[in-house]
Chain A
């Protein structure tokens, strides 16, 4: 039988076609790559390591298979520095070709990689506050299952004025984006509810001795601190050493559950607002805490919960995408459509900017059975990044910064 070139070609095409038929199966066997961008060293390493543990715990418990798709995890250390965050995301995207970025941790790092994320269209599940990236300058590839920097602080401002009855508060925070946004949020809602911020103090990131700031705390009836990483432990310790007794409140990082084993009795009584709390009674949270104990012998907090839930969000999105993550726009749409009921932080969904809407817990550090823990005082349900304002009103005001809202004279 003669076999000419044309027949050969059509035969080859048929073979190729047949090979193309089971494509989805082949695609499924190619692992989905997640790049974790976390602060594994530097002053924020405490949180960065928690991020790594949280995500790894979830993936490990699922045998590195989410919704039937194999997951590869690649990790980049930002060293708590925006410049290094930029280098690392480039490595993860251009060398490792990751499909998702989980992280970074800090607002100033997120601002540094923001343009890159938009340019390279990388679906990014960040933990960083960086308010404006889900507000006035939205990043279309961003999904945040934790909160903006100010989201929990809005709640704290409300609680401080209405329930704690504070009137005059001094805020103290790290001198970087996260600090400005946190204290801006606190100040605004606290003043809306009738309180007044007397003074705002900023210490450089990495400050080890807070005495020069503690010496300035006077003529007020409470303190709001927003330190992150290891700093809350040092701050609270020195606060007590100097004999200061005024009530202290703070945000998700200040009273982070992961710090509980490191705080001493001096931290008892500190109140914090957080989108996650170790005391959340749901079954999903108990599983999470048990996994963190089993794999890493570690007490989880806000950061670990954040990346653990990123794992859940990616799992749900992969299911609705049938594992096809080739189109970033479609992937982000699927991520933002995820709505979860049973997670360590309780139920949450995303708003149209990709920011979480969920519970914020107000907790107090107490000693229970010889161990420090965060006891939930009140749960603010279904809190969006704009609460207590309507979205349009909120977006009309300037972004929180070092100088906004300004400190004005308080009524005597």
Chain B
């Protein structure tokens, strides 16, 4: 039982990472908690799921198309809504929340109230016997995908010019502007990237969680918790935060089921009290 829980904690952590990495970057760079993030996850799941179910696209292609579509949606949202409210964080947060409600209703209109269930790609459909337990192969694959995405993101942020500019923007947006970085264009890029990752995560999560009305607001607090725990704008922060939350969630539900509603938010409260900048975040100057 414990082995199953441990593997599942990492799987869940992997999904959370896909969701929260973008959230963290957007928050770190733009100082805006993007409350549409859960909706992007759900939208990705719906689009990917429909492509697979109705258009018979292969799973991975559908995942990429869905990610691109959600990224485009994020780009439009940043360029035409958030940009107009530049400088007014509260207004931006409210807009992201408003869009989240709209996406939620829109999805209900288009996809209805029935859950959309998505099959794992055939090659990964069965189960694997590992460490003495039977575990769905797809869930193990999700771990590998999350690791791969983390590696690509890390390389992008740490090794490329774009990554350097993003890091500069996260650290000190005014100074970055002064040295000639077009921070507002970075905003659009990062928003697209974050949205695309969330959309991709939605497709990855679909065979595990399925896609249903309400998935958006089930995922959003998880992203918030991870980012508060890991620290905003920090990639290792979201990775570690995701896995920690994965473990706390899975083991907590079994060991202290009475606290099921509360268990996720306990570490968040502790971190906020003891280390408000998060485990990997830097203290605000």
> Which residue numbers of A lie inside 8 Å of B, CB to CB?
40-43, 45-50, 80, 175, 201-204, 206, 208-209, 211-216, 218, 229-230, 233-234, 237-238, 241-243, 258-259, 261-264
User: Cβ of B72 < 8 Å from any Cβ of A?
Assistant: no
Docked complex: B65-120 residues within 8 A CB-CB of A: 104-105, 108, 112-117, 119
Q: Complex formed: what's the CA distance from A209 to B127 in Å?
A: 17
Q: Complex formed: what's the CA distance from A48 to B218 in Å?
A: 19
Whether the pair A46, B108 counts as a contact (CB closer than 8 A) is no
Known: A204-B260, A262-B117, A264-B119. A211 touches B5 (CB 8 A): yes
User: Cβ of B145 < 8 Å from any Cβ of A?
Assistant: no
Give chain A nearest CB distance to B110 CB in angstroms: 13
**B249 (CB) vs chain A CBs: closest residue:** A212
Whether the pair B114, A258 counts as a contact (CB closer than 8 A) is yes
Whether the pair A41, B261 counts as a contact (CB closer than 8 A) is no
> Which residue numbers of B lie inside 8 Å of A, CB to CB?
1, 4-5, 8, 12, 104-105, 108, 112-117, 119, 127, 134-136, 138-139, 208-210, 212-215, 218, 249-251, 253-254, 257, 260-261
Give chain B nearest CB distance to A265 CB in angstroms: 10
Whether the pair B214, A216 counts as a contact (CB closer than 8 A) is no
Give chain B nearest CB distance to A261 CB in angstroms: 8
Whether the pair A41, B1 counts as a contact (CB closer than 8 A) is no
When distances are taken between beta carbons in the complex, the residues of chain A under 8 Å from B215 are 208
When distances are taken between beta carbons in the complex, the residues of chain A under 8 Å from B117 are 233-234, 237, 262-264
Known: A80-B214, A215-B254, A243-B127. A234 touches B136 (CB 8 A): no
Whether the pair B209, A209 counts as a contact (CB closer than 8 A) is yes
Give chain B nearest CB distance to A244 CB in angstroms: 9
Q: Complex formed: what's the CA distance from A41 to B1 in Å?
A: 35
Whether the pair A43, B253 counts as a contact (CB closer than 8 A) is no
Known: A175-B260, A216-B254. A237 touches B214 (CB 8 A): no
Beyond the given A211-B12, A230-B210, A241-B136, could you list 13 further A-B residue pairs with CB under 8 A, ordered by the A residue number?
A40-B108, A41-B108, A43-B218, A45-B108, A45-B212, A48-B113, A211-B250, A214-B4, A215-B8, A215-B254, A218-B1, A230-B114, A259-B114
Q: Complex formed: what's the CA distance from A204 to B263 in Å?
A: 12
Whether the pair A242, B134 counts as a contact (CB closer than 8 A) is yes
Q: Complex formed: what's the CA distance from A163 to B261 in Å?
A: 37
Known: A43-B212, A212-B8, A212-B254. A243 touches B134 (CB 8 A): yes
Q: Which of A50, A201, A211 is close to B4, meaning CB atoms less than 8 Å apart?
A: A211
Q: Complex formed: what's the CA distance from A80 to B136 in Å?
A: 31
**A204 (CB) vs chain B CBs: closest residue:** B260
**A218 (CB) vs chain B CBs: closest residue:** B1
Known: A41-B104, A234-B209. A202 touches B115 (CB 8 A): no
Whether the pair B208, A209 counts as a contact (CB closer than 8 A) is yes
Whether the pair A212, B253 counts as a contact (CB closer than 8 A) is yes
Q: Complex formed: what's the CA distance from A141 to B193 in Å?
A: 55
When distances are taken between beta carbons in the complex, the residues of chain A under 8 Å from B253 are 203, 212-213
**B139 (CB) vs chain A CBs: closest residue:** A241
Q: Complex formed: what's the CA distance from A261 to B115 in Å?
A: 10
Q: Complex formed: what's the CA distance from A261 to B210 in Å?
A: 14
Whether the pair B254, A46 counts as a contact (CB closer than 8 A) is no
Whether the pair A262, B114 counts as a contact (CB closer than 8 A) is yes
Give chain B nearest CB distance to A58 CB in angstroms: 19
Whether the pair A233, B210 counts as a contact (CB closer than 8 A) is yes
When distances are taken between beta carbons in the complex, the residues of chain B under 8 Å from A47 are 113
Q: Which of B4, B108, B112 is close to A215, meaning CB atoms less than 8 Å apart?
A: B4
Whether the pair B257, A43 counts as a contact (CB closer than 8 A) is no
Q: Complex formed: what's the CA distance from A242 to B253 in Å?
A: 18
Whether the pair A212, B214 counts as a contact (CB closer than 8 A) is no
Whether the pair A211, B8 counts as a contact (CB closer than 8 A) is yes
When distances are taken between beta carbons in the complex, the residues of chain B under 8 Å from A49 are 112-114
When distances are taken between beta carbons in the complex, the residues of chain A under 8 Å from B139 are 241
Whether the pair B214, A206 counts as a contact (CB closer than 8 A) is yes
Q: Complex formed: what's the CA distance from A41 to B113 in Å?
A: 7
When distances are taken between beta carbons in the complex, the residues of chain A under 8 Å from B105 are 41
